[in-house]
Structure 1
Amino acid sequence: MTAQPLDVDTVAGLVAEAAAAPSLHNAQPWNFRYLRDLGVLRLYADLERALPRTDPDNHGLHVGCGAALLNLRVAAAAAGLAPVVRLLPDPACPEFLAEAHLCGTGTPDGALARLSSAIRRRHSSRFPFREETLPTAVRETLQQAALAEGAQLLFPGAWHVQSILELVRDAEGREALAPDVREETARWAHNGSSGKAGAVDGIAAEAFGPRQRHTTVPVRDFAAGRPVPERGWAPFEREPNIALLGTAHDGPADWLSAGQALERVLLRATMDGLVASVTSQPLEWPEIRWAVRDPVSAMAHVQMVIRLGHGPEGPASPRRAVAEVLDVL
């Protein structure tokens, strides 16, 4: 293990892996700054990429940045590094989310390193999954992944799944009556008729998936009522495999931890041959967020709703160039 600061090319490679993380509307709301003399890589929130209507408290922004931080840790471990990470190191600068001392002299985390091959294979899938129940062993492995990051992963029972699906419909109805939320979604969701050519962020039309026919699964409809050329309809699974990711507390540090747990679960699921989609729709409305929680569980605050299963992989989302998200000082 070397204590010498890493060269810029190596750090750029780590940042490229970090930036492959999921984020709300694929806004990619992060920036990195490398202090090369110190060997420290800092993660900042890019507030110009915040979603003030959909995500007014920046909960989703923090979750996305936490997912990027987990990817960074995975890539670093795969490179034989043992970074020392601190969350929210400066209370006077809330957009300064974390810093990683890349030249730590500890032992690389082998469990994280083994997830590295899944970073580029993980894509959100908004397509129908097969009507199959996840084996108990798979569920337990995913729960262990969340627990390793200080979070809890709960697979609710059938009655609670139906309740969650009803809350998703409720959230969709609220969005339909909120033109500011619909307009914000439309700016990031590029349908075929008005999408941005060569976009490096947002959701491409081919990633919307088909419209649901006679079923309801927790998949946000990014078309938001707009026409999408050649987009069809399809029946989705009637009994989706739903998991709730939650934390004991509900502040910015907890959202960052939830983002790391979310990405660790998604990478583990990818390694296990699963595909997934996530949604925060019913969590974005304070009036109904409390109802997502299972009242008989110990989970205090639900941070994300995850749909898991076997089905087609989603297409890769566009990404900003590393040069746009990394500054070197």
Structure 2
Amino acid sequence: MADDAATAPSLHNAQPWHFRYVQHSRAFDVRADLDRVLPHADPDNRALHLGCGAAVLNLRVAVAHAGWYPATRLLPDPGDPALLATVQLTGLGSGESDLDALYPAVHRRHTSRYPFAETDIPGTVRSALSDAARREGATLDFPTAWHLKWVLELVEEGETRSRTDRGQAADLSRWTRTDATAGGATGEGVPAYAFGPRKRGGKAPVRDFAGTGQVPGRDAATFEASPHLALLSTSGDRPEDWLRAGQAMERVLLLATREGLSSAPATQALEWPDLRWTLRDPVFGTGYVQMVLRLGYGPRGTATPRRPLAEVLDIEP
């Protein structure tokens, strides 16, 4: 189950989690691995909590798939803030069928940094994705018209700032592998084979993990002119809200995968506090934007490496 949990997405694929399974109580602890923070892109560890929240959702899905009920507590010990969640296996045979149904998508969901088709997402699918977020205590909205244009401009501004910011460049340098191939990538970070093509046109928000460098053999491509974005928001902006947002994000992404959609985060504006606040709809929007997702019909993403299970899981009697 921990290997299922560890397929979760995280900022720059830093994988900032560690699991402990206690056999006698049939319970998992999910802890933050504070050696894997991004001090410039994520100074308050908000994105770390989102990634760990996504891992918690995957763990709940895996527990339900095994036929158990995942009794989950967030931040169970105020004296130990690195203990982010506990998930106990209870009620044999009473697994959550809605979570179990998402299990086939756990190992199929990969970030896709490729162009998507100029095809609309049906309203029924949008509604289902919004309902998935709502079930985890978050809101998923699809900006349109001037608000979509504004969000795209903010993401582009975040991308431009990141290219020239030394701290952001240091974070990116630590977690990118420009010389890695699919067969030789280390167990963390974003390898060159997962960068996707360099953007030569279009309005889709795409992070260029190569920065100002060059990757031999990397193609360029025109991306969609009318991208589909979704804003995931919560009413609060504290660690528990971030964990709920991470679970909501992953539930949305797994359902999107099951519905044939490809996806990619667009976090550039979220990494700058002044840009993040203005992502919300100033007329109707409430709460705090926690994630920007790009969704559409296009090539599946490529699996990025994961750390060996022995590095992320401890088992106790």
State the TM-score, normalizing by the size of structure 1.
0.93
* Aligned equivalent of 2:132, options 140, 145, 148: 145
* Aligned equivalent of 1:130, options 117, 123, 126: 117
In structure 2, the partner of 1:78 is 65
In structure 1, the partner of 2:300 is 313
- The residue type paired with residue 141 of structure 2 is L
How many angstroms does 1:280 deviate by?
Answer: 1.6
Give, in whole Å, the separation in 2 of the partners of 1:234 and 1:175. Answer: 22
Give 1:104-123 correspondences, 5 Å limit. Answer: 104=91, 107-123=94-110
Give, in whole Å, the separation in 1 of the partners of 2:301 and 2:181. Answer: 21
In structure 2, the partner of 1:58 is 45
Give 1:111-260 correspondences, 5 Å limit. Answer: 111-192=98-179, 197-260=184-247
Whether the 8 Å contact between 1:186 and 1:224 is mirrored in structure 2 is no
Whether the 8 Å contact between 1:84 and 1:104 is mirrored in structure 2 is no
Task: Determine helix, strand or coil for the equivalent of 1:143.
Answer: helix
- The residue type paired with residue 42 of structure 1 is D
Give, in whole Å, the separation in 2 of the partners of 1:268 and 1:196. Answer: 29
How many angstroms does 1:260 deviate by?
Answer: 0.2
* Aligned equivalent of 2:250, options 249, 263, 270: 263
Whether the 8 Å contact between 2:67 and 2:92 is mirrored in structure 1 is no
In structure 1, the partner of 2:8 is 21
Give, in whole Å, the separation in 2 of the partners of 1:251 and 1:160. Answer: 25
Q: C-alpha offsets along residues 239-289 of structure 1, whole Å, 9 cap, x if unaligned?
A: 100000000000000000000000000000000000000122101101211
How many angstroms does 1:290 deviate by?
Answer: 1.2
Whether the 8 Å contact between 1:77 and 1:113 is mirrored in structure 2 is yes
Q: C-alpha offsets along residues 4-39 of structure 1, whole Å, 9 cap, x if unaligned?
A: xxxxxxxxxx10100011011001100011121222
Structure 1 residues 127, 102: CA separation in 2 closer, same or farther (over 3 Å shift)?
same
How many angstroms does 1:196 deviate by?
Answer: 11
| Number of positions where the alignment pairs a residue of Structure 1 with one of Structure 2 | 316
- The residue type paired with residue 177 of structure 1 is T
Q: Which runs of 4+ in 1 moved over 2 A?
A: 103-107, 192-198, 296-299
In structure 1, the partner of 2:28 is 41
How many angstroms does 1:217 deviate by?
Answer: 1.7
Give, in whole Å, the separation in 1 of the partners of 2:24 and 2:286. Answer: 42
In structure 1, the partner of 2:266 is 279
Task: Determine helix, strand or coil for the equivalent of 1:317.
Answer: coil
Give, in whole Å, the separation in 2 of the partners of 1:179 and 1:197. Answer: 28
Whether the 8 Å contact between 2:199 and 2:206 is mirrored in structure 1 is no
In structure 1, the partner of 2:286 is 299
Q: What percent of counterpart residues are identical?
A: 51
How many angstroms does 1:197 deviate by?
Answer: 4.0
Whether the 8 Å contact between 1:151 and 1:245 is mirrored in structure 2 is yes
Structure 1 residues 194, 80: CA separation in 2 closer, same or farther (over 3 Å shift)?
closer
How many angstroms does 1:210 deviate by?
Answer: 0.9
Whether the 8 Å contact between 2:203 and 2:226 is mirrored in structure 1 is no
Whether the 8 Å contact between 1:118 and 1:267 is mirrored in structure 2 is yes
Residue ranges of structure 2 left out of the alignment (5+ in a row): none
Give, in whole Å, the separation in 2 of the partners of 1:246 and 1:172. Answer: 21
Whether the 8 Å contact between 2:154 and 2:269 is mirrored in structure 1 is yes
Greater shift in the superposed pair: 152-161 or 294-303: 294-303
Give, in whole Å, the separation in 1 of the partners of 2:26 and 2:140. Answer: 34
Task: Determine helix, strand or coil for the equivalent of 2:278.
Answer: helix
Give, in whole Å, the separation in 2 of the partners of 1:58 and 1:69. Answer: 16
Greater shift in the superposed pair: 94-103 or 260-269: 94-103
Residue ranges of structure 1 left out of the alignment (5+ in a row): 1-13
Whether the 8 Å contact between 2:110 and 2:302 is mirrored in structure 1 is yes
Q: Tell me how large the CA RMSD over aligned residues is.
A: 1.6
Whether the 8 Å contact between 1:62 and 1:256 is mirrored in structure 2 is yes
